[in-house]
Structure 1
Amino acid sequence: MYKVFVNDIPIILSTKKDIGEKYKSFPIKTVKLKRIINKINDGELMFVNLYHDKEEKLLKHLFKKLPVVTAAGGMVFNDKNEILFIYRNKRWDLPKGKVEKGETLEESARREVMEETGIKDLEITSHIKETYHIFKRKDKYRIKVTHWYKMFSTYDGELIPELNEGIKKVKWKNLEKSRKALTKSYSNIKLLFPEEYLSTNPKNRVA
């Protein structure tokens, strides 16, 4: 199963035609996706399931319907177990950006994080997952696939927001402050976080 966000509304991609009575289901191979997106944006649809009996075909059919923009970004931890957030468009977010020609995903993720935050000495420690969201540019819908990496840095210098990208703030946030920031973030960003950051009763420190 996959979640593809239109704003904060997820379109579910699954191998089941029926995933609940509140969902309207459509075969992903033949669905008029732009029509579905418009209905979501107009508030006419809230629960959508696009299905195919073969899971490996779900993204393949999705990517045939919209141009794909590949991006990469990072969830950066420091030695205090704080996470690096950016503030843009009145939401807390994680640094990311479009992959440039000739770059690997890892190279792009490191570059974008450094450019957007001013951080240095970044080490990629693991791959997290991909997120998917649909956006509109030049009156055309596109799907952004963002490849996320867990990173680490001991950098304790000045953090510099990339103002020309609309970033107003860059902040390290501990568990409590991260949980608060996530209430003013995006649904696809929340998918990246361990349960401890989403729970109202945080337990132990997350490594």
Structure 2
Amino acid sequence: MPREQSAGAVVFRLESGQAEYLLLLYPSMAGKSRSYWDLPKGHIEPGEKEEDTVRREVREETGLRDIKLLSGFRELITYSFRAQGKNIFKTVVFYLAQTGEQEERISFEHSGCAWLPYTQAMSYLKFQNAKRIITKAHHFLSRQGVPGRQSNSQGAGAHVQRGGQAHRSSQGVARRWQRP
């Protein structure tokens, strides 16, 4: 069975002292499923270190350049899928990355992004592996003294959808763009 190796990140930022996690909206895969929210990740290039892949993929997929990988967090997920008539076994290593940047620019690969508190991020995620990784990251941050805001907490974020129309929301920041 062919194997693939990827690396990704649980990217978070502190908003009013609370952790918010970055999720990307992936388009449906060949019309087989609906679009889904997941973490930034991508293939490890030959000769590339995992940490370099994480930085490159986060930059390419989100435009975020100022990220700091937190030491002590490295988690693996494995799964298999079918592509072009072949079963593929995939391993993805995740790191925990903090950013202070406020403006992201998603790549053509994605149709939206969202900065969300833990409980809301969990409700957005489709795959159990991603939920397990973000839960481990959230618990890691809690042990480090970083508070996690509940989705129903007070605070004002902006929700931006389709070309930049905004309204107030207490549930983090979400952005979607319509493709031409």
Q: Please tell me the TM-score bracket, short chain as reference.
A: 0.5 to 0.7
Cα drift, residue 195 of structure 1: 7.3
Answering whether residue 17 of structure 2 is matched by residue 82 of structure 1, we say no
Match of 1:128? 74
Structure holding more helix per residue? 1
State how far apart, in whole Å, the 2-side matches of 1:178 and 1:128 are.
20
Which of structures 1 and 2 has the bigger CA Rg? 1
- Check the 8 A contact 1:122/1:151 in 2, yes or no: yes
Question: Residues 121-167 of structure 1, C-alpha deviation per residue, up to 9 Å, x if partnerless?
Answer: 0111033310011112221111110000001010112x22211x2x1
Structure 2: unaligned runs, 5 residues or longer: 29-34, 139-145, 150-180
Residue identity over aligned pairs, in percent, reads: 27
Match of 2:133? 192
Which 4+ runs in 1 deviate beyond 2 A? 193-197, 204-207
For residues 195 and 145 of structure 1, do their structure 2 counterparts lie closer, same or farther at Cα, with a shift above 3 Å needed?
closer
Computed over aligned residues only, the root mean square deviation of the Cα atoms, in angstroms, reads 2.3
Answering whether residue 121 of structure 2 is matched by residue 175 of structure 1, we say no
Amino acid in the other structure paired with 2:147: R
Cα drift, residue 196 of structure 1: 10
Structure 1: unaligned runs, 5 residues or longer: 1-65, 198-203
- Check the 8 A contact 1:131/1:188 in 2, yes or no: yes
Q: Number of paired residues?
A: 132
User: 5 Å matches for 1:1-207?
Assistant: 66-80=1-15, 81-88=19-26, 89=28, 90-126=35-71, 127-157=73-103, 159-163=104-108, 165=109, 167-182=110-125, 185-194=126-135, 205-206=147-148
Cα drift, residue 205 of structure 1: 3.0
- Check the 8 A contact 2:38/2:130 in 1, yes or no: yes
Structure with greater contact order relative to length (CA < 8 Å, sep ≥ 6):
2
- Check the 8 A contact 2:10/2:134 in 1, yes or no: no
Partner secondary structure for residue 194 of structure 1: helix
Partner secondary structure for residue 156 of structure 1: coil
- Check the 8 A contact 1:75/1:151 in 2, yes or no: yes
Cα drift, residue 84 of structure 1: 0.6
Amino acid in the other structure paired with 1:177: Q
Match of 1:18? none
Partner secondary structure for residue 162 of structure 1: coil
For residues 196 and 151 of structure 1, do their structure 2 counterparts lie closer, same or farther at Cα, with a shift above 3 Å needed?
closer
For residues 206 and 67 of structure 1, do their structure 2 counterparts lie closer, same or farther at Cα, with a shift above 3 Å needed?
same
